Amino acid sequence: MNAPNLPLRVLIVDDEAPARHRLRDVLADCADELPVDIVSETDNGLDALDQVQQQPVDVVLLDIRMPGMDGLECAAHLNRLSSPPAIIFSTAYDAYACQAFDLNAVDYLLKPVRADRLVRALSRAHRLNATALDQLREAHPKARTHLSVNEKGRIVLIPLADILYLKAELKYVTVRTAAREFLIEESLTRLEGEFGEAFLRIHRNCLVANARIREIGKLPGEDDGHFLRLDGLDERLMVSRRQYTALREKIRAF
Amino acid sequence: MKRKNHNNRQVELPNFCHLGVNLRIALTVEAVMVAGVVARAPDAPAFWAEFIALSALAQPALLLTLLALCAAGRWLRGLSYGQGVGFTLALVVVVPVLAALWLSPLLAGVQTVPLIGVAMLAFLIGAGLLAYFNLRSRALSPAITEARLQALQARIRPHFLFNSLNAVLSLVRSDPRRAERALENMADLFRALMGDARQLTPLEDEVALTRAYLELEQLRLGDRLQVAWHTNKMPGDALIPPLVIQPLVENAVYHGIEPQPEGGEISLNIYRSADKVHIVVRNPIAPEAGHHKGNRIALDNIRERLLLHFDLDAQLKLEPLGAVYQVHIVIPYTRERTQPASARPHRR
């Protein structure tokens, strides 16, 4: 957080223009009490991630329900920054999320937002801790649209549609796209739970994108050994004996 | 003094032109015939012989009676309930007796029921069915109220309410006139939501309400929400249950437009074809179809109310057509009955 005498740098994120407008009005009203500098505003989560990396931002006022990348996912990506901004969620109505917010001492605002509530939230806004965020996302289960990694201080987003396979190795999971691979610190089981509809497990340590499966073949010389090839990738992926039967069934069902 | 049930709703004769009513009458008559023949026939061949003989008389009589009831229905329902029952029973007895008289030369040789038997049987079946329809209409009235309460809960989406209030607040300073208009639209919407769901309402009122709703949504969603109305063949005077179109459109916005960053178009097509009114609502299917449950509840709710109002004469069909989701409602075309103003409290 910056020095107390400087205005607080705020980014407004909401998909509805009137809601952003209203926040600006209320922030202007309480300028005497709490000087604020609205650095920018945007209507989507992806753009918000960009904005935060282009200029210093102290607090993000983040709407939860947005098309595409929602507020909770955006917060998860923001948290990959080495010094993430404080986040205050806003929502018109969401009984479950509010319960989870209260439990985890996360700052949130109910729309329509009152000036005094806004001032109070801004003056004590703090970073989200990772456990709280995990719990929020569990209370609000929705698959992310992107995975993210921090590379040299920048957030790199990996769109889900670009992912060919996810492979667990020791502490990390390798995310393979046609262009390159990334290492992320997440568990394969949780990824399977989140993206189970778009990915198939072919091995204890490997999930592949359904839409990218090109062929399944038998390995020469071995009894039950099978491999699988994906579009846009020469690499052969091993299919375990246990997963092979289930896999064949599922592929037939497509 | 007219008879009233505990909902202050008059017990009425059923609408004899409705498919569901006709089906119930026909099934009852068939059941009585089968029971009668079973009681008399000693074995299976005799059963079939008797059944066919009886059918030759009973089927035409049944058909003629149904036609007569349908033709006289409007007049019968205009009478007080007691008078209506009297005249209905008279019709129910006279038509089969006339049919029997007319058919008896054709059916000479086949053993038939004596005229007095025809009259007795017709009277008993008629009285029994009228009692059944009376009980049924009493039993269903509380259900209408209940369905309405349930409907109310399902329909005011808190999310919509608070977001709209927020949008109005944002306009108060910059564009007070638009803010006023938005509040007027909200008032109309809530008046309808709190109104009497048992009364039918003219189609044009429901369409006006839907337009008010869409204007509010447009305030929030801006260009993301496009609406195409096709109402040039709409019968504005047709009566429909209130809040059938608006919740459909609300669903379309919630599931088809809001989840898409670039938005989309909702199309409404309302027209009359013969004696049916068709209402077709289409919206794009969002790639992430996360919340199907709410959708189902709203549609079940509408379906139930259509059933309560029109029995089997109304339909609600769901048709995913590729990238578009379509809801198609068909209801019978009815207009306001001309009645003395005192007979029925007037709609808003």
pLDDT at B142 over 70: no
pLDDT score for B5:
40
Residue B203 has pLDDT above 60, yes or no: yes
Distances (CA, A) of B184 to B158, B172, B204, B218, B314: 18, 13, 18, 15, 33
A112/B166 CB distance under 8 A: yes
pLDDT at A52 over 90: yes
Q: What is the pLDDT of residue A246?
A: 80
ipTM of the complex: 0.79
Residue A2 clears pLDDT 70, i.e. is over it: no
Please choose, from the candidates A118, A8, A107, the residue with its C-alpha nearest in 3D space to the C-alpha of residue A64.
A107
Residue A228's nearest CA partner among A209, A191, A181, A168 is A209
Given this model, what pLDDT does residue A131 score?
80
- The structural domains of chain B, with segments of one domain joined by +, span 19-144, 156-336
Partner residue facing A142 (CB), from B170, B173, B290:
B290
Class of domain A146-253: mainly beta
List the single residue in B with minimal CA-CA distance to A18.
Answer: B167
- The whole-number average pLDDT for the span B185-190 is 92
Q: Give the confidence band of B154 by pLDDT, cuts at 50, 70, 90.
A: low
Q: Which residue has the higher pLDDT, A159 or A242?
A: A159
- Cross-chain CB nearest to B166 (options A15, A19, A68): A19
What pLDDT is attached to residue B337?
Answer: 63
CB A194 within 8 A of CB A145: no
What average pLDDT is seen over chain A? 88
Task: Tell me the pLDDT band of B155, cut-offs 50, 70 and 90.
Answer: low
Q: How confident is the model at residue A46 (pLDDT cuts 50, 70, 90)?
A: very high
- What's the pTM? 0.74
* CATH superfamily, region B156-336: Histidine kinase-like ATPase, C-terminal domain (3.30.565.10)
Q: What is the pLDDT of residues A87-145, one digit of tens each?
A: 999 998 877 777 778 777 788 899 999 999 999 999 888 788 788 888 888 777 788 99
Q: Quickly state the pLDDT bin for A254 (edges 50, 70, 90).
A: low
A8-13/A36-42 β-pairing: parallel
Band (pLDDT 50/70/90 cuts) for residue B323 is confident
**Cβ–Cβ under 8 Å, residues B290 and B279:** no
Q: Do B159 and A93 touch (CB under 8 A)?
A: yes
Among residues A82, A43, A179, A62, the alpha carbon closest in space to that of B222 is found at A43
Mean pLDDT of chain B: 83
Domain ranges of chain A: 8-139, 146-253
Two tokens at B62? 């049944």
Chain A residues with CB within 8 Å of chain B CB = 15-19, 21-22, 25, 44, 65, 67-68, 92-94, 110-113, 142
With a pLDDT cut of 90, the percent of chain A lying above it is: 54
Domain range A8-139, CATH class: alpha beta
Average the pLDDT over each of A192-196, B183-187, B198-202 and give the range with the smallest value.
B198-202
pLDDT digits (tens, 9 = 90+) for B252-287: 998 899 989 899 999 999 999 989 999 999 999 887
- Measure CA A194 to chain center: 11
Instruction: Render pLDDT for B16-25 as a digit per residue (tens, 0 to 9).
Output: 888 888 888 8
